[in-house]
Amino acid sequence: MLVSLNWLKQYVDIDEHTPEDLAELITKTGIEVESVIPVAEKLENVVVGHVLSCEQHPNADKLSLCKVDVSDEILQIICGAPNIAEGQKVVVAKPGAVLPGNFKIKKAKLRGVESNGMICSLQELGIDEKDVPKEFTDGIFVFQENVEIGADAVPLLNLNDVIIELGLTPNRADCLSMLGVAYEVAAILDQPFTPAEEEVHPITERASEHISVKVDAPDLNPYYGAFVIKDVKVGPSPLWIRNRLIASGVRPINNVVDITNYVLLEYGQPLHAFDLEKFGSSEVVVRRAENREKITTLDDQERSLNEDHLVITNGKEPVAIAGVMGGADSEVDDNTQTILLEAALFNPAAVRTSSKDHGLRSEASTRFEKGVDPNRVRRAGEKACELLENYAQGKVLKGVVEFDELDRAPQEVHITTTRINNRLGTEISNEKIGDILRRLQFDYKQDGDTFKVIVPTRRGDVYLFEDMLEEVARIYGYDNLPFTLPEGESQAGGLTLYQQLKRKVKAYLEGAGLNETITYSLTRESRASQLTSREVADRAKSPVRLAMPMSEEHSHLRLSILPELLASLSYNVARKQNDLAYYELGSVFISEEEHVTKQPEEQLRLAGAMTGNWHVHPWQQEKKAIDFYVVKGIIEGLAEKLDIPLTYHASRYPDMHPGRTAEVLLNGETIGFFGQVHPKLQQELDLKETYVFDLNAEKMFKQYQKEEAFQAIPRFPSIKRDIALVVDESQQAGAITTTILEAGSPLIKDVEIFDVYQGEHLQDGKKSIAYSLLYMDPNRTLKDEEVEKAHKKILDAVKEKHLAELRG
Amino acid sequence: MKEQLKELETEALEKVQLAEDTKALQDVRVAYLGKKGPITEVLRGMGRLSKEERPVIGQLANEVREHIQDAIDSKQNSLEEAALDKQLEEEKLDVTLPGRPVQVGGPHLLTNILEEIEDLFIGMGFEIKEGPEVETDYYNFEALNLPKGHPARDMQDSFYITEELLLRTHTSPVQARTMKQKDGEPVRMICPGKVYRRDTDDATHSHQFTQVEGLLVDKNVRMSDLKGVLNTFAKQMFGSERDIRLRPSFFPFTEPSVEMDISCKVCDGKGCSVCKGTGWIEILGAGMVHPNVLEMAGYDPDVYSGFAFGMGPERIAMLKYGVDDIRHFYTNDIRFLKQYHKV
């Protein structure tokens, strides 16, 4: 909402405040002021001039040579506007004037002829082209009224105005009107404000002789008032109305249209003027539209209606979509003489539906949608009648023809000073509350500490105790609330174990050299289920799709974090950032339904993607590329950090390297996978060798045991034995380790692989794995024979299970 | 004999001093203190001495021997030290060469901000609550006083999956869920998380972003408590010299509703381009929990009251660190991520 301060001044005394101070006060107390815009900055030497003569420039076809009387002198001015003519009263910027945009007017020679000033268009004076009356958009502005020659044009054209732009929240529809803003500002400044009464002088002829009103949908249209004004002369509206419209961002058109717009701005009540002679009947019938009924609206669009749309008809066909837009057939034009003026209240939801379905949002529909003041509907109609009398020579017919089932009763809200103070933490007195209500112009009956407040209907947003609490609080001033802390029983805040583990895992990975990332949960369909861990893929029917995505790029909820993580790697590699170690801890969305009806399971997963070098120390010629075992080491470290028993076996995954992918198991159950991305996918993504991991963080966290009983530090020596086993190359080291641990139990405490060898001195197809075995008993020193016995058992077991030979 | 011993001592001590390495020193030791050395020789000749002289000479001989031994030991030490010094000198490194790099990872800037906010509120006795990102229409809207057809639903165009399911547009549903779960008990919680809105991604909009909301419900909660808690938060988050102000606003789930500004850090409240001349910067929205919301969650609004607030960590990060484009948070450019590891 654009508020002209010059207009506002007519209602409330704001002269003590600069526009900036006023804006600050309004922002703090009521409504956020988004900007403060002077129409034109300190304009001087801009006066009314009378064009005495206008001839063609001797050296230029499109320029005119004018003599202009500005009262104290006659200026010779060259003008390029096509609409300049002798006898006009125009705006002259004299030499020394500085127009908006820092445009300095000086004496100059144009094509050899002296020019002592400029005849101005409204745009040149700082008015937005969209608000300039159409007849002046391509040329200079010409006064239609009898203004004094030489007079300062600045006040005449309202160029000294300052506009404040209110950022209205949906509840403050009352301030979609100048009267509402005036009440608000008056309350803030503690100034009096009483709106003027409407003054209509009807003739004896009755409106009801020309029109009847019937409403078939009173739920959607509880009030419809029809005024009839005859002998109207359509023409330009007076300067002051045009100035106010322009200041409010509304382009002046003609007096009839301007007056309805003016009343809309002043009262917040949309009106509509029909040309009664073109109306097509003498009855107004308001009803729901029939399906596929048609109307051509003012913008010359044919629109198809249905029964959700409320229409005004002439008893036969629609003449307007209620509250949204009138029809072209009954539009007021230059020849209109008799006006049927509609002042009505339409149901907000109905207007919202029509406006949405037809893509028509207007000043009118916005106000109906947010709710208008039921006590201002008829008065707005009367105000328009008054203005039509005064500025369109209209004769208002007696009596408004009405359908009226409107509830105009105000809301009553009971408040007590005690309750207000309890909720605000203040010590406001009864007197102060009474004073605040007086400033707001809310009537009340006081009984001790209780106030029965009668809320004016213009404030439809105030009907609960809490609404009144807000009114009192904001006028009292939020700055005046004390700072306190809650007094209720305090609880120990803190992180849950789950939240602690999230932080622990992040800290571990970051300590290990990985960078945390956050990618989008919404991705394209092809990526949503790519690189999904088996246990997720087995359950999810398909990735969850949005009903109406904004783009295919963000249309599906991810089943794996990896595709977007890989996209991040690609992004970086394309920018020559080649060494990357990324991880993300976030949710994937698993729905087991074909067509989603329930919330999908949101599973917290820990995913990582790494490419390039892991370690580079150039001057020592050290370089270690990220490989399978770097990633595995990170996962093993994580398992150690959480103390959970992860195991691994070779596996095959789509889009993963078939020989370099492992599934990760926890207690025998798959919880994720890791390995190298398939070279084909790497190529597609312009990535070099790239490794990924994806783990179910929730399963890992569940296994985590925070309380761990103390384990005595071993006091007895351990015994270390090394063995080298020769096995088929198909044998997996991990399986042999398991066999060793099982066979050596309970004495064996640790197994470490310290060498893997294949090649010379070994048969083809064989490899040698060297293990270091650690034997220990926590309670005593082991005897050699015991270790010997256990060691033999191990050798027998690996021979039997893995055909392993001791390497000689 | 006395003189002989004295002479030997002087001679030996001189040789000790002259020894240039441990080998030469060893030779001196053997030469003077060895079994065949001159002192042993002197002692052997003691038989010829008188009873009175014998202990005197014996003592002197031992003293001489000790002196020589001490000198040798001390020389030995200094020779060893010199050798070590020499060796260490040879082992000298160029300390200015770069060290072997340790991989340094780090958290995302948003995580930093979130954890800072979390820790701050934990300090004030708040719990951290989380909830689903795919929400029901009920918890995302209806339980928050936004019935179907409510015009304020316009303010946050949403990603629906079905008519009843959508990506949450704020973390407020976690508040509604927590109140239900607490079943009439007091609540002090904050809920951080991802939220989604139908916005085209540009420098200031992102279809996915982060929110932290907070809720406190108890008997006799006052609006001044909200002001006190937010003031504590703002001063810790943005610096103790920052002031706050509340001004009226509107949210369907709170009444009264306010917006909180902090005094602009750049101009210290005087007005500059960052704060658009107002001296204030908008940080968060807040208010007293709407009685309808309390009621729907099973709290009697005549007995219980509460406050709620909500803020955007992206915005906070943008203000605190001058990040100029919200897309930076989701592009994961390593050069961006690494800038904030020290934070």
- Structural domains of chain A, ranges and CATH numbers in brackets: 2-39+162-189 (3.30.56.10), 46-156 (2.40.50.140), 207-404 (3.50.40.10), 413-480 (3.30.56.10), 497-703 (3.30.930.10), 719-806 (3.30.70.380)
Predicted local confidence at residue B151, as pLDDT: 67
ipTM, 2 dp: 0.87
Tell me the C-alpha to C-alpha distance, in Å, between residue B32 and each of A7, A785, B3.
121, 57, 16
> How much of chain A exceeds pLDDT 70, in percent?
100
How many angstroms separate the CA atoms of A46 and A93, rounded? 4
C-alpha–C-alpha distance, residues A638 and A650, integer Å: 19
Nearest to A76 by CA among A38, A36, A45, A116: A116
Q: Give the pLDDT of residue A351.
A: 95
A325 - beta bridge partners? A321
Nearest to residue A122, comparing CAs of A46, A36, A62, A70? A46
Pairs across A and B, CB distance < 8 A: 250
Q: Do the Cβ atoms of A522 and B222 come within 8 Å?
A: no
Q: Which helix (H) or strand (E) holds A595?
A: none
Secondary structure letter of residue A102 according to DSSP: T
Mean pLDDT value across residues B93-120: 93
Q: Name residue B237's amino acid.
A: M
Q: How far is CA A23 from CA A27, A32, A161, B101, in A?
A: 6, 8, 14, 57
Contact A172 B232 (CB under 8 A): no
Q: Which of A170, A469, A596 minimises the CB distance to B256?
A: A469
Q: How far apart are CA A404 and CA A806, in angstroms?
A: 105
Torsional sign, CA B230, B234, B236, B240? negative
Chain A residues within an 8 Å CB radius of B258: 478
> SS3 of A600, please?
coil
Q: How many Å apart are CA B42 and CA B59, to the nearest integer?
A: 12
Matching residue, tokens 């990220």: A626
- A504 SS3 class: helix
Enumerate residues 6+ apart whose C-beta is below 8 A from B59.
none
Tokens 């990872």 belong to residue:
B105
A703 has pLDDT over 90 = yes
DSSP β-ladder status, A108-110 and A118-119: unpaired
Which amino acid, one-letter code, is at A655? D
Task: Give the single-character DSSP code of A234.
Answer: -
* Residue B150 pLDDT > 80: no
Which pLDDT score, from 0 to 100, does residue B152 have? 66
d(CA A432, CA A525): 62
The C-alpha angle with vertex A76 and arms to A75 and A81, in degrees rounded to 5, equals: 110
Chain A CB contacts of B329 under 8 Å are: 518
In the predicted model, is pLDDT for residue A707 greater than 80? no
Token match 């010829």: residue?
Answer: B48
Query: Which residues on chain A are in Cβ contact (under 8 Å) with B149?
Result: 349
The band of B154, judged by pLDDT with boundaries at 50, 70 and 90, is: low
Strands, sheet with A283-288, edge to edge from the N-terminal-most edge strand: A212-215, A283-288, A310-313, A318-321, A325-326
- A464 close to B (CB below 8 A): yes
Mean residue pLDDT of chain B comes to 90
Give the H or E element holding residue A85.
none
**Which residues of B are less than 8 Å from A31 in CB distance?**
248
A805 has a chain B CB within 8 A of its CB? no
| A603 three-class SS | strand
Burial of B35 (0-12, 13-18, 19+ CB in 10 A): exposed
How would CATH label the architecture of B109-129+184-339? 2-Layer Sandwich (3.30)
Asked if A535 and A667 count as a contact pair (C-beta separation under 8 A), the reply is no
Closest chain A residue to the Cα of B193, Cα to Cα: A586
Within 8 A of B331 by CB-CB distance, chain A residues are: 568, 571
Taking residues A364-387, what's their average pLDDT? 95
CA angle A18, A23, A27 (to 5 degrees): 150
Helices (H) then strands (E): counts for chain B: 12, 9
Region A593-616 average pLDDT: 95
Backbone torsions φ then ψ of B179, nearest 5 degrees: -60, -45
Q: Which two tokens stand for residue B255?
A: 């009444």
Measured from the Cβ of residue A658, the count of other Cβ atoms closer than 10 Å reads 12
Can you tell me the mean pLDDT for A533-550? 92
pLDDT on residue B45: 77
CB-closest option in A352, A572, A622 to B334: A572
- DSSP for A421-480, written as a single string: HHHHT----HHHHHHHHHHHT-EEEEETTEEEEEE-TT-TT--SHHHHHHHHHHHH-GGG
How far is CA B195 from each of CA A453, B179, B281, B293, B309, rounded to the nearest angstrom? 40, 20, 23, 20, 15
pLDDT per residue as tens digits for the range A660-691: 999 999 999 999 999 999 999 999 999 999 99
CB proximity A601 to B under 8 Å: no
Taking only the tens place, the pLDDT of each residue in A285-342 is 999 999 999 999 999 999 999 999 999 999 999 999 999 999 999 999 999 999 999 9
- Confidence label for B55 from pLDDT (cuts 50, 70 and 90): confident
Cβ within 8 Å, pair B160-A548 = yes
- β-partners of residue B311 are B212, B284
Distance from the Cα of A162 to chain B's closest Cα (Å) equals: 17
> Do the Cβ atoms of A584 and A698 come closer than 8 Å?
no
User: Which pLDDT band, with edges at 50, 70 and 90, does B156 fall under?
Assistant: low
Cis previous bond, A746, omega within 30 = yes
Q: Please tell me which of A340-349, B38-47, B58-67 the model is most confident about, judged by mean pLDDT.
A: A340-349
Give the pLDDT score at A513: 94
* CA–CA separation, A66 and A50 (whole Å): 10
| Residues A123, A331, A311, A397, Cα dihedral to 10° | 110
pLDDT of residue B155: 52
| Residue A193: burial class (beta carbons within 10 Å; 0-12, 13-18, 19+) | middle
Q: Please give the span between the terminal C-alpha atoms of chain B, in angstroms, as a whole number.
A: 84
Collapsed DSSP state (helix, strand, coil) of residue A406: coil
- Sort residue B269 into left (φ over 0), alpha (ψ -120 to 50) or beta: left
Mean pLDDT of chain A: 93
Rounded CA gap, A132 and A253, in Å? Answer: 9
φ, ψ at A179 (rounded to 5°): -65, -40
Burial of A129 (0-12, 13-18, 19+ CB in 10 A): exposed
Percent of chain B with pLDDT over 70: 98
Exposure of A319 in the CB half-sphere (CA atoms within 13 A):
26
In this structure, what token pair is assigned to residue A517?
């990332």
Find residues 417-436 of chain A whose CB sits inside 8 Å of chain B.
422-426
Q: Measured in whole angstroms, how far is the alpha carbon of residue A485 from the centre of its chain? A: 32
Chain-centroid distance of CA A157 in Å reads 37
Using a CB-CB cut-off of 8 Å, the residues of chain B touching A598 are: 165
Helix (H) or strand (E) holding A20: helix A19-29
Please state at what angle helix B22-33 crosses helix B53-90, rounded to 10 degrees.
170
| Distance between CA atoms of residues A335 and A231, nearest Å | 10
Please answer yes or no on whether A516 and B337 come within 8 Å at the CB atom: yes
DSSP A135: G
Compute the distance between CA of residue B31 and CA of residue A376 in angstroms, rounded to an integer: 129
Cβ neighbour number for residue B26 with a 10 Å cutoff: 13
| Burial class of residue A357 (count of CB atoms within 10 Å of its CB; 0-12, 13-18, 19+) | middle
- Decide: helix, strand or coil at residue B38: helix
Mean pLDDT within A510-531: 95
| A390, two tokens | 């005064």
β-strand A656-666 against A669-677: which pairing, if any?
Answer: antiparallel
Interface touch B208/A521, C-beta < 8 Å:
yes
Question: What is the strand order of the sheet A450-455 is part of?
Answer: A411-416, A450-455, A443-447
Mapped onto helix, strand or coil, the DSSP state of residue B301 is: coil
Report CA-CA distances (Å) from A94 to A51, A116, A127.
14, 7, 19
Question: Is pLDDT of A210 > 80?
Answer: yes
Distances (CA, A) of B99 to A618, B13, B102, B338: 10, 49, 9, 20
Q: Examine the pLDDT at A490 and tell me if it is beyond 90.
A: no
Q: What is the pLDDT of residue B343?
A: 66
Q: Tell me phi and psi for residue B109, to 5 degrees.
A: -55, -40
Q: Could you say which residues from 353 to 372 on chain A have a Cβ atom under 8 Å away from some Cβ of chain B?
A: 369-370
Token couple for B16? 């000790």
